[in-house]
Structure 1
Amino acid sequence: MPTPPESTKASLSYRVHARARERWPALTSVDVRFHGSFAYITGQLPDGTTQPLCRLRYGGYANQWGFAIYLASKDKYEDSFLPDGNSAGTAEEALDCACGLYLNDPTAWTTD
C-alpha cells in the first residue's frame, strides 16, 4: 500500500481540524496520527476524554480515503461505508460520519 507524502499528511490534518472547528463544536480538539498508509483520527471531549473516531486509508489520492469506523464495542476499526454508500470519500465526510455516531448527531448522515 502506498504511504501518503508529507504534503498530503499536512493537508489531511489541516482539513480534519478545519472541519472539526466548523461542524463539531462538541470536540475540543482532534488528533490525526499516521502509521504507514493509515491516518487515525481521535477526538477530545470537553471533559478530557478521548474518543477514537475513524481510520482513513490512503489509496494514492489526497482527496479520497478509505473509511473504517472505530467500533467501541469491539475496540477496533472496521471497514465501513459512508452515508452516500461509498467505502471511500473525503476526510470531511469520514469525520462527519464518525462524529454523527459518537456525538449523537444523525444529521451528519444526510446527503445533499
Structure 2
Amino acid sequence: MSKQTSEKPCDPPSTLEMAIGGLIQVFHSYSGKEGDKYKLNNGELKNLLQGELCGFMTGSNDPKAVEKIMADLDENKDGEVDFQEFVLMVAALTVACNEFFTGYTRGEEKEKAPCPKKA
C-alpha cells in the first residue's frame, strides 16, 4: 500500500524562501555592472554595502572599511566577491546579530551593537 501525500507548492512562499530569493536578487542587482556578472568588484561591493547594509556601515568612520571587508571576504584572492563569499558575509552578520539580541534579551550589556536597531 502506498502513501498518498498532498504536496502542493507554498503559496505564498515562506519567509525563509523569500529571504533566500532576496539574497540572490540583491547580489545580482549589484554584480556585473563593471565586469564579471557573477562577481562583485570593489566598487560594486561598496555600492551593495552602502545601499543594502547602510545600518552596519554608518557606524564605521574607517575610510578603508570596504577594502578591509573585501580582503576578508575574498577567500580565493581574485579581487572580487562571488556569491558564495557574499553569502558567508551575510551568514556571519546574521550570527553576530543573533548573538547580540540573544544577549540583549537576557539583559546582558553590550558595548556596541553589531547590527542596526529598529527604531
> Could you say which TM-score interval applies, normalised by the shorter chain?
0.3 to 0.5
TM-score, normalised with respect to structure 1: 0.33
TM-score (norm 2): 0.32
Structure 1 or 2: more helix by fraction? 2
Which structure carries more strand by proportion?
1
